[in-house]
Structure 1
Amino acid sequence: MTNMSIEKLSDFILANARSRFKDKVVILCEGRTNLSDRSNPSTVAKRRKLADATFFKRCVPSYWTYKKPQFIGCGTRESTIGTFFSLRKLISEKTDTFINPDKLFAIVDPDVQSTKIEEDYHHSNTNEIYNDLYYEGVLNGQKIQSNRILTLGLAVRENYFFEPDLVKERIKKFNPSICYKYAIERINSDNDIVCEKKKIKEEVFRRVSHVENIKLDCGRDELCQSYKDILGYNPKNPKRDQRLVIMSMLGFIKLKKHWENIDFKGKNNHSNRIIRNNTQLSIANYYSDNQLEEYHFTILFRELYKIEFGCYPEG
């Protein structure tokens, strides 16, 4: 997305603010821009690809019944961050923008290949943001309001589809043995995980250093073997103590391609796509209905709820 299109998107967001975003929490995210999306929810699954913003919106907990947070797709990670600063600048220059700057956020993927933040901000790149927000894979909710630009806790949004609890209990088409074996093998094949590059190596090992028996300060082969030794090739029913190991791996390995290559056994590409999109919506509903403390979304939405209403949700 060019600077001009970032400005255009920012103007478009403000033009829609009164009717759609007035004094609500607004979160800019990656993915297809969805501002013109007013279609019936029943048609969402028929689209070519489900928008990231649509998925996040469906993850909003069921206790949040009104003034729900609004997610807006802004393209790439770089353009999402750029739109955040552009929108913040426009809000400061205008009156009656209907978007409260204290309720404006951005959330992006925390690839170990970090993105620089060129604007005046208290972090210089996305890895610094990630490491401020997360400790040993756990989101520190107290850091959300002070950061504004947030990152997910897993390498990409699609990794949340492979949460061990969810894979085991809800999504029958996923084979844990296959998906976690794929993740382990990706350590050796993912070009983003180049342990020979000092900064990337440091970031990878920072994200997994809390896992017992993981070999640190080594090459990709040794790191890959560490995960093989701990999990084995067939973690069919991940135990709670294995969850920490799996989630640490999902913190730096991207399973987006694995997700896109899963055969959902549709009659053709069109029906396969519908099943894939419906599965994403089912996953989002799972996160909406299950507010477990170890889930990043649980903490994220609880803190955003407090920002919106001044108190935590009951229960």
Structure 2
Amino acid sequence: MNSINSKWIYLFALSIIWGSSFILIKKSLLGLTAYQLGALRVIISGFFLLIFGYSTLKTIKKSDWKWIAISGLIGSFVPSFFFAIAETEIDSAVVSILNSLVPLNTILIGFAVFKITSTKRQMFGVIIGFIGTVMLILKGADLNPNQNYLYAIFVILSTLMYATNINIVKRHLQHVKPLTIATGSFASIIIPGIIVLLFTGFFSVETFVNPKFKIAMVYTVILSLFCTALALVLFNKLVHMSTPVFASSVTFVMPIVALILGFLDGESFSLLQGIAGIIILLGVYLSHKRQKKSS
């Protein structure tokens, strides 16, 4: 199997896995608080990765640990909490569309921080995507007054962190194996995750007597093992075999998966929100479309 076919297979698999993560977060929050979910996601994923990748930690050079720790912090730790907090107020389908800003932010971060040049078409795509984001948030706030769309900022901040992480992995950790990056990044954040969990009241009687606690834990374990641990290894592999912008385009299919699952779960989604989502994806498409070579 050549690398071109491989990267598309990885992209499609990740779209399905990550696309289902938004509804799993929503279901987990039925029996857990946002901070409990974020901490558990880090801890469970960390232990799972350490079981399978502990032996790879010795291969990490001292100079690489800084970037791996940063990758763990901005690529997994903070977003685990931010997405959970956002979904306490916003439907999972809307969150998934906002997550589509990752490719656009990858271009912006690459240009501003890592001095990666961008074309006029890419910058135009970023502007289109921004317009769609504003529409999605404003129309959503009008049509769903019971939802607090100010919480969209948590998703937007997470997309900026994801975009920065993608560029870091490509620029500074290209020589490190995907499983090693994933294991090392979670090894650096698992202790902070445990500390946060201790202060969330997770071990109180009120948590365990909640009738929805057990099923919430089932969803959390599935979310942690597949949508976090396994997905992170696959994503790091995709970043290695492709470009940062291509890897971030996993968000093309994710909203479709999330919208279907959200609809099946009874979430409402208006035509105007759908148009706003299409505008965002159009911006992502324009930012990815290559300029034709002149003959």
TM-score, length basis structure 1:
0.24
Which structure features the higher share of strand residues? 1
TM-score, length basis structure 2:
0.25
